[in-house]
Amino acid sequence: MLKRRYDEARLERYGQGVKLYWLVDEKDGAENFSMRLFEVEPQSSTPFHTHPWEHEVFIIEGEGTVRLEDGEVPFSSGDAIFIKPNEKHQFTNKGDKVLKMICVIPLKGKR
């Protein structure tokens, strides 16, 4: 078993105004999924990008939009979002507080 506070997890910068905390991943012995917490500052965004794996996102706090190739979809706390493999996407904080979201990605196919 592993128990860890998010502010003790490995931290990466993921663009300007975006922090990525690796809550659980293969370094912890996980075999199937990585769980990450993103903190996005107001008016900041993750990169507009794509990858060959799916991911599931849960919005803990805040509000914003998910940009896709065919438009934007608004979201707020309590929403769950599924991004398909190879779907180009970007999360933008449209609020005035830090956006916090959990993102789960599979390990298989990511390597």
**Does residue 15 come out as left (phi exceeding 0), alpha (psi in the -120 to 50 range) or beta?**
left
Average pLDDT over residues 27-35: 94
CATH of the domain spanning 10-106: 2.60.120.10
User: 77 pairs with which residues across the strands?
Assistant: none
| pLDDT for res 94 | 97
Place of tokens 């599979």: 106
Place of tokens 């990169």: 47
Continuous H helices in the chain: none
User: Of 11-15, 39-43, 55-59, 62-66, where does mean pLDDT reach its minimum?
Assistant: 11-15
Q: Name the 3-class secondary structure at 6.
A: helix
pLDDT, tens only, 37-60: 999 999 999 999 999 999 999 999
Domain boundaries, the chain: 10-106
Confirm if 43 and 99 have CB atoms less than 8 A apart.
no
| pLDDT for res 111 | 46
